[in-house]
Amino acid sequence: QVQLVESGGGLVQAGDSLRLSCAASGRTFSTYHMGWFRQAPGVEREFVAAISWSSGSTRYADSVKGRFAISRDNAKNTVYLQMNGLEPEDTAVYYCAAGRGLLSIRRTDYNYWGQGTQVTENT
């Protein structure tokens, strides 16, 4: 089993930067791909970014490309999401996930999920 715990969320202003962390524990596999999803009130959970533990290859949603960066620290079993130039539309609960899909954007391809961390734009 794999446990995922997100942290780093909080209140931000337009244009601010924030870094989210996802710590993995239990049995982990280098063949797994890690992903970040987000969900705003009344909106279906959507794909944000994904990364491969082994190769470091990445994939981004068009809405965050050029502003967000996903990375990983294999020694610490931790995945990060660096968010720059935050906008009101980025307000959501952000979830970390793990699965066997090849940088999949589909929620159903991920087997493990964290509890989420809230990111709120202060207006």
The DSSP element (H or E) to which 80 belongs, if any, is strand 78-83
Which tens digits make up the pLDDT trace of 43-95?
A: 999 999 999 988 899 999 999 999 999 999 988 999 999 999 999 999 999 99
Query: What pLDDT band is residue 29 in, cutting at 50, 70 and 90?
Result: low
Q: What's the mean pLDDT when you consider all of the chain? A: 93
Percent of the chain with pLDDT over 90: 82
Q: How far apart are CA 3 and CA 26, in angstroms?
A: 6
In contact, 36 and 59? CB cutoff 8 Å: no
Lowest mean pLDDT among 23-27, 28-32, 108-112: 28-32
